[in-house]
A = this chain, B = another copy of it.
Amino acid sequence: MSVAVKALFFDVFGTVTDWRGGVAREAERILKPLGHALDWLAFADAWRDQYQPAMEEVRAGRLPFCKLDVLHRHNLDRIRPRFGLSGLAEDTARDLNLAWHRLDGWPDAAPGLARLKRRFMLAPVSNGNISLMVDLARRNGFPWDAILGAETAGDYKPKPRVYLAACEALDLPPGECMMVAAHTNDLLAAAKCGLRTAHIARPNERGPGTGEAAPKAPVDIAAGSLEDLAAKLGT
């Protein structure tokens, strides 16, 4: 690369962590003892389906910015009737909403990040809020240098402000920052802001064969995992 990259920014849901398996597992752990018997993966998928529409309300300026935890709760309440969960106690609903704070990293995530940390500054640039990112990092040993992303920018990806605020926080021009994601649309939005891009293949993000096995547009690096990215960046 002509310009040396100094910082790597990471999408987290899907790229670094397995949201689908984690939400399904947490829902089962919390709801099964209460007598609920759902299709846990279908429940995770339905919850995630509300994700983009909810953020779009903020991105379009129809709602003021609020943390993703708030949107997740709103989205949960929307899908509850469909899964027979309308009568959930408030404490249970609140605990269930924290399922997103208890996701596991993909097996290559923590070791890959540890290698990348030797040479690069690392930060999540996720739509997840700060407390959510902190909980995921403590659970999985993600060695972030700072938590950047939607909450510090006050808007949601793929709005340009989110990528640019991350560069500005580290005093770096966009060309010295690289966005790392398993979703081509995230990378295209970052590239429009001048950032470098690395695609991570997560072909099974939403179940076998559902994710992007390869980028759908040109990127600077296409890697099979975060450990592969570390190798391709020479760390």
Contacts and interface: CB of A to CB of B under 8 A. Distances in A.
A233 interface: no
A92 interface: no
A232 to B, nearest CB: 22
Q: How many copies does the complex hold?
A: 2
Interface of A, helix, strand, loop or mixed by DSSP: helix
A148 B145 CA distance: 12
A151 B137 CA distance: 22
A169 B146 contact: no
A130 interface: yes
A55 to B, nearest CB: 19
Which of the four size classes fits the interface of chain A?
Answer: 10 to 19
A96 B133 CA distance: 34
B145 A138 contact: yes
A82 to B, nearest CB: 28
A69 interface: yes
A171 B69 contact: yes
A121 B147 contact: no
A121 B138 contact: yes
A131 interface: yes
A163 B79 CA distance: 36
Contact of A146 (B69, B146, B170, B171): B146
A134 interface: yes
A152 interface: yes
Q: Kindly name the residue among A138, A144, A146 whose own CB sees the greatest number of chain B CB atoms within 10 A.
A: A146
A130 B138 CA distance: 20
B121 A170 contact: no
Q: Kindly name the residue among A131, A138, A148 whose own CB sees the greatest number of chain B CB atoms within 10 A.
A: A131
Interface string A40-82: 0000000000000000000000000000010000000000000
Given A121-B138, A146-B146, A151 B169 contact: yes
Interface string A137-160: 110000011111001100000000
